[in-house]
Amino acid sequence: MGGQPRRSEHFREAARLSPGSVEAHTNLGLSLMEAGRTDEAITEQRRATVLAPESAAAHNNLAMALQQSGAVEQAITEYRAALALNPDYAEAHANLALALASARDYDAAFRHFGEASRIARASGRTDLARQIEDAADRTRAMMSQSAR
């Protein structure tokens, strides 16, 4: 636990020294997300998308921070931006599926879970495909419990 603040400060210093570095802002944003400092994480991930608007990963990371903050509709928009840039981005499909499920758009969520799993399997990432399929199963279970 003591390493997290130190890691965030290390990444903050890297971003200060290299303000044009997408990687520095991305790493700082991810470490801030891990530390639960979501507003700061969103700021850093937005900087990364400004610096690299063509980066699907930057949009996916911003979307994750937005989703963590509860801004699900904004997160969905950013996940879709990531997928417009890279339609074969399995993690963005899976993350979008989770966001759509939290917005109760289950049909779209399961389409994206399926696409994420298909892409992961096609690229030989069977562990990721299983994780995605497990997330889809948990979402189905959650749906059936809330319908009772």
For the stretch 23-50, pLDDT in tens is: 888 989 999 999 999 999 999 999 999 9
Chain-wide mean pLDDT for the chain?
A: 92
| In the block, residue with structure tokens 């509709």 | 73
Q: What is the mean pLDDT of residues 133-137?
A: 97
Which of residues 18 and 93 earns the better pLDDT score?
93
| In the block, residue with structure tokens 């997300």 | 33
Q: What is the pTM of this model?
A: 0.89
User: Which CATH number fits the domain 1-72, given the four candidates 3.40.630.30, 3.40.980.10, 1.25.40.10, 2.60.420.10?
Assistant: 1.25.40.10
| Domain ranges across the chain | 1-72, 87-148
